[in-house]
Amino acid sequence: MTEFQWPWEYTFPPFFTLQPHEETRQQQLKVWTDLFLKYLKHTNKFSLSINEQSLPLFHNESIQRRLSPELILVILEQLQRTGHAAALDKRRQEWQVYWYTLEEYGNMVYDWIQETGQTNSICTLYEIASGESSTQMDFHGVDESVLLSALRLLEEKGRCELIEMDGSHGVKFF
């Protein structure tokens, strides 16, 4: 795995303090949300806990600055607003973060099913997320719980139907 390319802001101390100036704060949050998504994609992670103090994303050792839990929450809430994150617990400490929004995931999977002519056949979630035929796709390697949420959204639009069997899920596309 290649070294993660941190943006220049990562070594700029004010980046770790929420800025009161409106325009500056918007820009700061935008950089942070991009960084969150890029970093998680790079490390192949789909969940974050606010308490993971040692995570390099939250803590730049070289300039001795760390994100406060409050600021992490602000960033995650910003991600939630754009459909890239959802809280897993009521205390909003554990978060699921999506590299793409659930809708984007759903559409990508649906398009891929159409292209490969798998409509009306039943696939398992494992096939879609980790099967050999999808290795080139952006959604390859997606967390199954994230995929499930995306497919539920598709199901609501009537494009597929989820089938539960023995605790795992299958899906049939129309």
Partner 1 sequence: MNRFAYVEARLSSNETFVSRDSRVKIFDGDQKTDFEEGEVVLTTHRLFWGRPGEIARAAVTLCLPLSYVISLGEETTASNFFGRKTRIIMHLRPPGPDKMPGPLDTSRATHIKLSGKNGLSVEFHSALRETLNARIWEISLTSETIIRGVDSSPTSESGNDRLARIQKRTGIGGIERHLEAKAKATDENIALAFQDLSVLMTMAKDMVGLSKTISGRIREQKGEISDDETVRFKSYLMSLGIDDPVTRDNFTSNSAYFSSLAQQICQMLIDPIEELGGMMSLADVYCRVNRARGLELLSPEDLLHACEQLRGPIRLRSFPSGARVLQLESHDDDLIAIDTLEKVQAAESLAVEELAKQLGISLLLAKERLLVTERLGKVCRDESVEGLRFYPNLLLQRD
Choose which of 4, 6, 12, 42 interacts with partner 1 (CB under 8 A). 12
Give the count of residues interacting with partner 1 (CB under 8 A): 18
Tokens of 47: 């969940």
Residue 6 as a binder of partner 1 (CB under 8 A): the answer is: no
Stretch that binds partner 1, among 8-16, 88-96, 121-129, 157-165 (CB under 8 A): 8-16
Q: Tell me whether residue 26 or residue 145 sits nearer to partner 1 (CB atom).
A: 26
Tell me the torsion sign for CA atoms 104, 105, 106, 109: positive
Tokens of 15: 């980046």
Choose which of 3, 5, 24, 170 interacts with partner 1 (CB under 8 A). 24
Range list of H helices, the chain: 22-43, 69-81, 102-115, 125-130, 144-156
Q: What is the rounded distance in angstroms from the CA atom of residue 169 to the CA atom of residue 149?
A: 12
Stretch that binds partner 1, among 25-33, 74-82, 105-113, 136-144 (CB under 8 A): 25-33
Q: What is the rounded distance in angstroms from the CA atom of residue 135 to the CA atom of residue 23?
A: 41
- Nearest-approach distance from CB 14 to partner 1, in angstroms: 4
Residue 61 as a binder of partner 1 (CB under 8 A): the answer is: no
Q: What is the rounded distance in angstroms from the CA atom of residue 39 to the CA atom of residue 116?
A: 31
Contact residues for partner 1, defined by CB under 8 A: 8-9, 12-17, 19-21, 23-24, 27-28, 31, 64-65
